Structure 1
Amino acid sequence: MGSFSIWHWVVVLLIVVLVFGTKKLKNIGQDLGGAVKGFKEGMKDGSEGDNPAAPAQAGQVAHQDSAAKTTIDVEAKQKS
């Protein structure tokens, strides 16, 4: 199994267009483009608002009081 030639990719593209249709593919492309644009804007906004004196850790809860009310602390014991 070597690399695929250009004709293999043309056939695959033709099958994808026949299965999904051009309208659905256009909508998927627009949704994907919007998601990438939103991600880039979010990364840009996030880097501007960072405070180097107090870096946040990944997964850290900002409001500890509200998290403490909804979290149940349990301990697993092993059966003997």
Structure 2
Amino acid sequence: MGISGIGIWQILIVLMLAVLFFGSGKIRRLGEDLGGAISGFRRSLRQSEGESFEANSQENLSGRLIQTGERQ
């Protein structure tokens, strides 16, 4: 038994039907588009994290200087 009653043979049959129905080229393009969307999403997350880090750094620098041992 596989995932919640779905066996390996059922998954293989569905994949074979998808390839026959859509064709291998269309499935490959779909995979490339999905991979591009995921990498774009990750890239935007990294950029937004970098921007928020820079904004926090600028706020700390533009405010008063913190003395040694003093907490914010």
Aligning the two structures, in what range does the TM-score lie when normalised by the shorter sequence?
0.5 to 0.7
Deviations 1:18-73 (A, max 9, x none): 111000000000011001000000000000001245xxxxxxxxxxxxxxxxxxxx
TM-score, scaled relative to structure 2: 0.67
Inter-partner Cα distance in structure 2 for 1:4 and 1:35: 29
Q: Which residue of 2 aligns with 1:42?
A: 44
Inter-partner Cα distance in structure 1 for 2:6 and 2:41: 32
Number of residue-to-residue matches in the alignment: 52
Alignment partner for residue 31 of structure 1, among 24, 30, 33?
Answer: 33
The percentage of aligned residue pairs carrying the same residue is: 33
Instruction: Quote how far apart the aligned CAs of 1:16 are.
Output: 0.6
Three-state SS of the structure 1 residue aligned to 2:49 is helix
Inter-partner Cα distance in structure 1 for 2:40 and 2:6: 34
Inter-partner Cα distance in structure 1 for 2:50 and 2:12: 44
Answer 1 or 2: which has greater helix percent.
2
Inter-partner Cα distance in structure 1 for 2:6 and 2:40: 34
Inter-partner Cα distance in structure 2 for 1:5 and 1:36: 28
Three-state SS of the structure 2 residue aligned to 1:36 is helix
Runs of 4+ in structure 1 over 2 Å off: none
TM-score, scaled relative to structure 1: 0.60
Which consecutive residues of structure 1, in runs of 5 or more, have no partner in the other structure? 54-80
Q: Which residue of 1 aligns with 2:10?
A: 8
Superposed CA RMSD: 1.2
